[in-house]
Chains A and B, each alone.
Chain A
Amino acid sequence: MTSVGPERRVLVVEDELLVAALLQDMLTDLGCAVVGPAARVAEALALIDAEAIDAAVLDVNLNQELSYPIADALVARGIPFLFSTGYGADRIPEGYRGHTILQKPYHGSDLGRALTGLFPAWPLPILRVSPVRGAVAW
């Protein structure tokens, strides 16, 4: 399902509570609505069935479960997504390496650029966070 409203609805799949909360904040700053977060594969699959989703951010390792079944479900529905992982790209199985891989930790602007890349024809309205940050009392 794809929403028709102007707000991008992004599914968050992340089992680390604090990281999921940060991801929610980042997405809110980017003007997206958050679906989830889901911490388990079954939970994420249920959300995909029940909710309107435009894109997804998938942690790879969900407390011993791997998120590839979620990736497959998203592919089957034509929903774009990116992987968000502490592993290097070489740990992602070959069949999934074509998808965007964001290496944790990352800045909100990195996420914004990656999400924009998922929607070339429909860029995010604003990137409110600047990629360049100042130093305090340098």
Chain B
Amino acid sequence: MPHLAPTLTQTIAADGLERFRQNLGPFVMAAETTRMAMLFTDALVGGHPIIFANDAFLKLTGYARDDVLGQPFKFLMARGDNPLALAQVEAAFNGESGGHFEMRDRRKDGSQFWAAVFIHPVPDTAGKIHDHFVSFVDLTDHKREAEHLRFLLDELNHRTQNTLATVQAIAVQTLRGVADQEVVETFEGRILALAKAHRLLGHHNWDAVTLRDVIERILEPFGVRDSASARFSIEGPMVRLAPKAALTLAMVFHELASNAAKHGALSRACGRIAVTWRTEAAPGGDRMMLRWQETGGPPVAPPVHKGFGSRLIEGGLAQDLNGDVHVAYERAGLVCRIGMPLLPVAVG
């Protein structure tokens, strides 16, 4: 940049700086040498011209001090011509949004970076605001790390799905011709249910998913989205589930639905399943009470011996989720009641 004679703005900036040095004395030294990038801007002139830039700021942006002194604040913005971005900056100078915001800045070499910016007014003893203090935290590494984590999580989800696909392939090919077709299909169904639950969690970054998400995803092969048949009714308030609860409940619903397809309501054209739940406050935290009720199926009777499904439903809920479960073979159809504690703290 060619060196020009001082412009009017630069002269005003120099005056501002002089006043600033007189007012703040030794703190100027502290500001100059700290590793946090910071500026002071003049509040008495429009455009918030820069009257002070510390070494850390120059290092962060690649500018020389003369490049920035006297320049309006928007000079630093990658989108200084964008009215929305400008309005956000102006709002921060006015103390709205607590003076915090994230902005994309432009370095001298034209490259851009994200910074968390904090703007605070500096009043004199009479309360008049002469200057603004502006600090910058470079978010480039932070954003890059977040991206990298996102990538790793994607890879993990991908590998989980591929591994489960391989397990499915091994199982089906090992058992084919050796075990009953029904055994193969049951095993395959369970692997696929587990994969679905993992996929759902993957979509939500292994953060909490909702009970309705889990139910709809698992019951999809059983026609839950088939509005024409309307075999299912699913009703209850929004409930968020921790990953472990989501996985266990996914397997439980899969077993209940598989059983209904074989022995219960889903084995008859007119059979229906109602899944309803409510939450209630309890001394140890909120609990959820869920009811799976089948109607319209053939008469049901308790199984002669307990298999994987019953064990998973009764044991899994009790052991994994500290819940209780009761399965009743009522005349109208099977009823499964589940009570379990919910996430201690609401997420999101």
Which residues in A have some Cβ–Cβ distance to B below 8 Å? 16, 18-19, 21-22, 25, 86-88, 91, 103-107, 109, 131-138
Nearest CB of A to B219, in Å: 11
Report yes or no: A21 in contact with B169, Cβ–Cβ below 8 A.
yes
- Chain A residue with the shortest CB-CB distance to B168: A105
Report yes or no: A136 in contact with B158, Cβ–Cβ below 8 A.
no
Instruction: Chain B residues near A138: list those with CB within 8 A.
Output: 255, 258-259, 262-263, 303, 307-310
Report yes or no: B221 in contact with A131, Cβ–Cβ below 8 A.
yes
- Chain B residue with the shortest CB-CB distance to A131: B221
Instruction: Chain A residues near B259: list those with CB within 8 A.
Output: 134-135, 138
Instruction: Chain B residues near A109: list those with CB within 8 A.
Output: 221
From known contacts A88-B202, A105-B161, infer whether A135 and B154 are also in contact, taking CB-CB under 8 Å: no
Number of interface residues of B (CB under 8 A): 46
Nearest CB of B to A110, in Å: 8
Instruction: Chain B residues near A107: list those with CB within 8 A.
Output: 188-189, 192, 221
The CA-CA distance from A86 to B198 in the complex, in Å, is 11
Q: B331 on the interface (CB 8 Å rule)? A: no
From known contacts A132-B221, A133-B186, A135-B186, infer whether A103 and B172 are also in contact, taking CB-CB under 8 Å: no
Report yes or no: A105 in contact with B164, Cβ–Cβ below 8 A.
yes
Nearest CB of B to A43, in Å: 20
Report yes or no: A18 in contact with B170, Cβ–Cβ below 8 A.
yes
Which of A25, A86, A137 meets B162, CB within 8 Å? A86
Report yes or no: A132 in contact with B261, Cβ–Cβ below 8 A.
yes
Report yes or no: B266 in contact with A132, Cβ–Cβ below 8 A.
yes
The CA-CA distance from A21 to B170 in the complex, in Å, is 9
The CA-CA distance from A103 to B172 in the complex, in Å, is 18
0/1 string, B245-263, CB within 8 A of A gives 1: 0000000000100110111
Q: B182 on the interface (CB 8 Å rule)? A: yes
Report yes or no: B166 in contact with A91, Cβ–Cβ below 8 A.
no
Instruction: Chain A residues near B310: list those with CB within 8 A.
Output: 138
